[in-house]
Structures are given as structure tokens and as C-alpha cells.
Chains A and B, each alone.
Chain A
Amino acid sequence: MSPWGYLIFTGWASLGAVLLPDRWLLGLVALEVGFAVIWNREGLRLLRRPRFWFLVLATAALGPFLFGDPDVGIGVGGLSVSATGLSMGLAMSGRAIGLTMAVSLGMAALSLSDLVALFERVGLRGVGFALALAMNTLNTLQEMATVTLQTIRMRGGMRRPGIALRLFLVTTVANTLRYSDEVVNAATVRAFDPGVRRVAPLPLRRSDWVLLALIAGFTGAFLASR
């Protein structure tokens, strides 16, 4: 699937999770699981996180106690819960699953090169360049900041925390700008020009069309039911 497909899916599924009536959420989640099985199995890792299920199940379990009037006895110490509350809790859980999966399966499936290509395609070549650069310099900058901090500490700078913080900030920013000189030189000698738009082909693939048909079918069924 092309990056367009993942983006379209994220946008559509996120909107669906927020706007769809409660009874349609199950269909949306089923569609998302189907999408994951066919196009992005990695995205299903989300479902293996205990923290995710704790949140979702806790919401469903608390619903009967938080909403509506208690009308169903559960046979434990004369305790009653609300059936309406249970359905509301389940709906809240369904919405959370739908939205979380929409992001996890769509946007999270995009690689750095996909995002750079997308920005280039929409005429924001500079943003794509900055994104790739930031990704590749993240560790270098972290290391530079760590070295600065260690140097200040070893020279006894921590005895005066205010001055140490100021020194750390100024040195880190100055190092970043000094490093930028090297990157600018490297980009310039490679004749990089953010103003030149290279229209790299990023066509829709067959799987994108299949996804669009599924989305159109689901949306059509929903609209027809109203």
C-alpha cells in the first residue's frame, strides 16, 4: 500500500471513531482489524500491550457504576449496577479502541522515507529535509548535550545550579548552531536546494483502490442506514 493509503485510512478511521454512533463502532473496529491483518500486521502489536487493555477494560467495567440508575442486581452483597451504564461503558471502550487503532495502524505504519516523499510531493521539500535531518541527528545532539552536562559537572559547575543551567543551555544551543554549519556545508556542496520541487512519482496502488472501495462501502452503508 502507498503512503496515501495509510494516510487516508488514518484520517477516515479517526473521524469515524469520533463521529460514528455507538452501535457502528464494532463495525469500525472489525474493519480496522481486517485492515491490519491484510496490510499492517505490525500495527496489531498494540493489542498485545497490557496497559492498553487495562484502560479499555477498566472503562467498560466502570460504566455500570458510573452511568444510569442501578437496575440489575449482581448477587454480591445486594449490589446493583446499571445496564445502561454497561452499554455506555462498552461504547466508550469501543471508541477508544477505534481511535487508538486508527493511529497505530495508519500513521505509525509510515516510514521516514514515506513521510519525506509525501512532503516533497505536496511541495514542502524543506520540511521533509528537516525531518530526515532531525531523525538522523537526534542521537548526535543527545550525545552533545550529555557531554556538555558531564563537562559542567566534572568542573564543579553543579555547586551553583543557576549558573550551571545557564552554561548548559548556552553551550547546547551554541553547539547545535555550530553543528548546523557543518550540515549546511554538506548540503550545499551536494547542491541541495529546498526551493526546487522534484515531483517524485507517488502513485496510488491497487491495494489503495481496494481500501478506498472498502471505505466507500462502509460509509455508504452507514449513510443509507440513517
Chain B
Amino acid sequence: MSSYSVRHWVTIGLFSALWAAVEVSLGSYLHVIFPSQTNTFFVGVVLGGIGVVIALTGRHFVPHRGAVFFIALVTALLKLLSPAGARLGPFIAIVMEGLLMEAALWTVSEPRVWTFSLAGALAVGWNLPHKFIMMRLLWGQQIAQVYVKMLQEGSQILGIAPSAALWILGILLLVRLLVGALGGWVAWKLGQAVAKRMGRRFPSTGEVTR
């Protein structure tokens, strides 16, 4: 924490604002088009993917451990403070995405493209279990019975084996992991491209870095 300079906190704040702008504007728009009760796929992948790109690009310019988590934490708090954002689900989702990205980046001392991709995959992959965990928290343990009943009756109606549900979940998870990995890769390339164009990555010479 003491290694963070003013510039680092400013960068964290600004990248959080970028992520929050996407969450508040695009997120609200998508949630209106695809309400959470009807959507199982689209919104989380899109918002998670964009969030991963922004947070990991920010990590390029705050080369310290914990930076991605702080970006996610500030974004989650901004979402909570937004007029329509007093909801636990998005808050937990964003904080967990930050934690998972940070955990992946902690595995190596110096980030590489594969750690960015792993971080992205874990973060976007989270939004599949997140949906079930939030349903369990919100509706209690009875929700498990609803799932089982829906699975049994759904498989009867469609004439497919109940085990196909596992395949469907597996495919949904795989798509999320791929989108997240792609987001991590894009963040890596984007950070490099911007740093190269701006001719700097670290604080400029002579700048006060407390």
C-alpha cells in the first residue's frame, strides 16, 4: 500500500470510473432489454468481458499487486452509489471478479500475457456460479428443489437426458472462460499499444511519487 503513489491512486480512480461508466450506462440498458429472470447468458458475459479489459489495462499503468482489486472495489462502490444500483448482486460480482483477477496475477512476480488471459478467464467465468450463489442467498435453500424440479420436467418435455444439463452448463462456462481469456489478451495488447504511443509506462522523471 505504501508503494502506491498519487498517480497510482488517480489511475485506479479513473479506470474505475471507466468501468463504472460501462456498468451504469450499458449495464442498465442491457438489464432492461434482458431482465435477470429471463437472461442466463448474455449480460454477464458482455459486462464481465468489458470489465476485464478495463481493469487489466489499468493494471499496466499501476504495476503493483492489489491494483486490479482496488479498481474492482471502487467500481463496485460506484455501482452501489448509482441511483439504481442499491443491489447486492452486481456489487458481489464485481468484487469477486477483482479478487479472482488479482489471485491470478499473484501467481507470478511479473505479469505476462498468459496471466492476463488467466485472470480474465477466471473473472468472466465467475458469473456462471455467481448466478446460482446469488439465487441461493436470495431465495434460500429451497431454490435447489426448484432447480431439480425444473431440470427433471424440462428434460422430460424436451425428451433429453437430465445429464445434458451438465453439458449445457459446461458449454456456458467454457464460453465465459474463452471470452474472459480473450478480454485478458486484449487488455495486454491494449496496454502495450497505449504505453508505446504515449512513450511512458512509469511515472515521468521528476514527478513526486510518495
Contact = CB atoms under 8 A, between A and B. Distances in A.
B198 A99 contact: no
Interface stretch (A183-191, A207-215, A217-225): A183-191
Interface string B164-199: 000000000000000000000010001101100110
B77 interface: yes
Interface stretch (A29-37, A72-80, A124-132, A148-156): A124-132
B208 A188 contact: yes
Nearest to B78: A134
Contacts of A137: 13-14, 17
A174 interface: yes
A91 B194 contact: no
Given A92-B140, A195-B210, A131 B13 contact: yes
B142 A92 contact: yes
Interface residues of A, number: 54
Contacts of B24: 138
Nearest to B143: A92
Interface residues of B, number: 56
Contacts of B139: 59, 92, 95-96
Nearest to B3: A195
Interface in B27-86: 37, 53, 57, 61, 70, 73-75, 77-78, 80-81, 86
A18 B136 CA distance: 9
A127 B208 CA distance: 19
B21 interface: yes
Interface in A42-81: 46, 55, 59, 66-67
A112 interface: yes
A180 B190 contact: no
A127 B88 contact: no
Contacts of B91: 103, 107
Contacts of B61: 177
Instruction: Name the residue among A96, A100, A130, A135 with the largest chain B CB count within 10 angstroms.
Output: A130
B9 interface: yes
B27 to A, nearest CB: 13
Contact of A129 (B2, B13, B191): B13
A138 B17 contact: yes
Interface of B: 1-2, 4-18, 20-21, 24-25, 37, 53, 57, 61, 70, 73-75, 77-78, 80-81, 86-88, 91, 137-140, 142-143, 145-146, 149, 186, 190-191, 193-194, 197-198, 207-208, 210
